């Protein structure tokens, strides 16, 4: 159809439905299709198209010229190419753990992919206090396969450099450099800090020069350490789940960066689910059980990652110097250090910065929200400052439980 072949425009639901008919060999010619825009993220437009007779469906994801969260972010629509190519590569490295791509359209900056409506976004499921016994197993396979197998340890170095070039993602990296590494650490006008938390951020983070120096060092590591082809935004809103299945979506922030960035994002967002449950569940037994499952999951993710990483290293390493005694341990320990640091950065930026998480903003009692935010920021600072000593799953849990014990429950009457 000529309409979609001459120039780029942002699609309405009617356009997306028409577009779906142009995809070869998917829907029958006169299928009775319905279309709904279902995107709820900060960036793009997501259309679900279903054949009402057969119930066969697909997703069209289109990148607009600005971010959905704010027109202030002028963005390159190339992010849709990055997302498409990364999903295809991740499907080879970690089969079954990402949605299938059916089609990519450079002109319209959209991709067509598998509909995962039988899954639920992990953040929403965790806010309903659901548990996913296979999640730690699945996510650690995804992390090890996508992070180690794209690194210089395994890939031919010329092949790796050509991937670095293909996945250069300057505009979206700039967003992370600003929103994750810069703005949360001073009283920036772009921050959307909860008014009751501002004095705490000022006293504990913004006026601590030694702490801010650590965040500056981490920012330069994020910009300069082209270690692995990372997802770049692996929070619980980028993960679809069922009890049996995990699918990682949305790698538009992907680029060659520190491997620990992805792991730290997963851990921090599970901690947000923990803080939500701690503040909102009133039944003592239900709360204990749920917090226990989250604790176990966080611990398992760190420890299973280390185990699987070591096994995969032994199987796949090709770089001769990486075989020197002690190098594998040195390399893994630097990833765990970065994981702790990014856990801390993500905790701070989602509380202070522009882009918040529902786990915290949906805590109804203002005093409980203030307490959750203080715990998050205190933990965040600890993870960043003490990153070289936090290595095992138990180390991560110790930071969580000791910080919670320190910040006493407040008067909940406000
Ligand atoms: C302008 S985008 C704000 C945030 O949403 C995305 O999901 C990333 O996390 C980004 O930092
Ligand atoms: Mg996203």
For residues 103 and 172, membership in a common domain is answered with no
| 347-389 pLDDT per residue, tens | 999 999 999 999 999 999 999 999 999 999 999 999 999 999 9
Tokens found for residue 368? 């409980």
- Tens-place pLDDT, residues 237-253: 999 999 999 999 999 99
Residues 105 and 133 in one domain: no
Q: State whether 237 and 337 are in the same domain.
A: yes
> DSSP string covering 51-97, please?
ETTT--EEEEEE--SB-SS-TT-B--TTHHHHHHHHHHHHHHHSTTS
Q: How far is CA 97 from CA 48, 132, 135, 150, in A?
A: 20, 15, 11, 16
Residue 217 has pLDDT above 90, yes or no: yes
What domain range is 318 assigned to?
A: 120-406
Residue 362's H or E segment, with its range, is none
For the cut 80, the answer to whether the pLDDT of residue 414 exceeds it is no
User: Is the same domain home to 103 and 141?
Assistant: no
So what's the pLDDT on residue 2? 81
- Phi, psi (5° rounding) for residue 121? -65, 130
**Are both 266 and 400 inside the same structural domain?**
yes
Residue 229, H or E segment:
strand 228-230
Yes or no: say if 255 and 334 are a contact pair by the CB < 8 Å rule.
Answer: no
CATH number for the domain that contains residue 91: 3.30.200.20
Contact 374, 197 (CB under 8 A): yes
Q: Which atom of ligand 1 is nearest to the CA of 42?
A: 5
Does 394 fall in a domain?
A: yes
| Residue to mutate, 43, 231, 248, ligand 1, most ligand atoms under 8 Å from C-beta | 43
Question: 53-100: per-residue pLDDT in tens?
Answer: 999 999 999 999 998 888 888 998 899 999 999 999 999 999 999 999
Residue nearest to atom 8 of ligand 1 (CA): 233
Q: Ligand 1 pocket: which residues have CB below 6 Å? A: 41-43, 67, 69, 73, 175-176, 179, 233, 355
For residue 42, the CA-to-ligand 1 centroid distance in Å is 6
Q: How many domains does the chain have?
A: 2
Q: Do 109 and 125 sit in the same domain of this protein? A: no
Could you identify the atom of ligand 1 that is nearest to the CA of residue 349? 11
List b or e across 283-297, with b for residues whose CB sees 16 or more CB atoms inside 10 angstroms.
eeeebeebbebbbeb
Shared domain for 127 and 46, answered yes or no, is: no
> Are residues 84 and 102 both part of a single domain?
yes
pLDDT digits (tens, 9 = 90+) for 398-409: 999 999 999 987
DSSP per-residue string spanning 139-205: HHHHHHHHHHTTSTTTS-HHHHHHHHHHT--HHHHHHHHHHTTTGGGTT-TT----GGGHHHHIIII
Q: pTM of the predicted model, to two decimals? A: 0.97
- How many helices, marked H, and strands, marked E, lie in the chain? 14, 10
Residue 410: pLDDT band with limits 50, 70, 90: low
């Amino acid at each position: 159809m000529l309409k979609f072949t001459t120039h780029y425009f942002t699609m309405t639901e009617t356009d997306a439905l028409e577009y779906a008919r142009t995809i070869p060999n998917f829907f029958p010619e006169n299928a009775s299709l319905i279309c709904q825009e279902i995107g709820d993220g900060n960036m793009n437009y997501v259309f679900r198209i279903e054949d009402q007779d057969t119930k066969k469906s697909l997703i069209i994801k289109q990148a607009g010229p600005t971010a959905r969260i704010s027109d202030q972010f002028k963005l390159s629509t190339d992010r849709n190419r990055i997302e498409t190519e990364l999903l295809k590569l991740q499907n080879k490295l970690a089969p079954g753990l990402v949605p299938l791509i059916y089609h990519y359209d450079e002109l319209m900056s959209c991709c067509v992919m598998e509909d995962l409506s039988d899954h639920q976004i992990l953040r929403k499921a965790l806010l309903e206090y659901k548990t996913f016994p296979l999640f730690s197993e699945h996510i650690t396979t995804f992390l090890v396969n996508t992070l180690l197998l794209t690194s210089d340890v395994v890939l031919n170095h010329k092949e790796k450099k050509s991937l670095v070039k293909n996945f250069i993602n300057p505009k979206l990296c700039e967003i992370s450099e600003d929103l994750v590494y810069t703005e949360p650490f001073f009283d920036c006008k772009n921050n959307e800090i909860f008014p009751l938390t501002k004095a705490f951020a000022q006293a504990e983070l913004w006026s601590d020069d030694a702490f801010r120096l650590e965040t500056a060092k981490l920012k330069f590591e994020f910009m300069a350490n082209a270690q692995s082809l990372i997802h770049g935004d692996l929070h619980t809103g980028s993960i679809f789940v069922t009890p049996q299945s995990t699918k990682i979506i949305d790698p538009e922030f992907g680029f060659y960066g520190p491997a620990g960035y992805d792991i730290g994002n997963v851990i921090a967002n599970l901690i947000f689910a923990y803080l939500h449950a701690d503040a909102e569940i009133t039944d003592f037994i239900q709360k204990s059980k749920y917090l226990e499952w989250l604790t176990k999951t966080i611990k398992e993710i760190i420890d299973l990652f280390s185990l699987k990483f070591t096994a995969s290293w032994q199987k796949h390493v090709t770089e001769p110097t990486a075989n020197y005694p002690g190098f594998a341990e040195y390399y893994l320990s630097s990833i765990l250090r970065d994981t702790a640091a990014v856990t801390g950065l993500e905790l701070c930026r989602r509380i202070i910065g522009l882009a918040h998480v529902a786990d915290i903003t949906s805590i109804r009692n203002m005093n409980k929200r203030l307490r959750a935010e203080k715990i998050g920021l205190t933990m965040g600072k600890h993870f960043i400052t003490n990153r070289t000593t936090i290595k095992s799953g138990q180390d991560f849990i110790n930071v969580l439980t000791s910080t919670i014990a320190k910040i006493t429950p407040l008067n909940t009457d406000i």
